[in-house]
Amino acid sequence: MSTLPPVDNATLPADVRAGTKSDQDNYKAALQFERQLVEQLTQSMADTTKAEEGSDSDDGSSAATDSYKQMLPGVMADSIMSAGGLGLARSIAQNLKGTGK
| Mean pLDDT score across all residues of the chain | 81
Q: How far apart are CA 36 and CA 91, in angstroms?
A: 16
11-25 confidence digits (pLDDT tens): 788 888 898 999 999
pLDDT at 9: 74
**What pTM did the predictor assign?**
0.72
29 Cβ neighbours under 8 A, 6+ residues apart: 93, 96
Phi, psi for residue 8 in degrees, rounded to 5? -75, 125
CB count, 10 Å around CB of 38? Answer: 21
Residue type, 39: E
**In whole angstroms, how large is the CA radius of gyration of the chain?**
18
Residue 10 pLDDT class (50, 70, 90 cuts): confident
62-95 confidence digits (pLDDT tens): 888 888 888 889 999 988 888 888 989 999 998 9
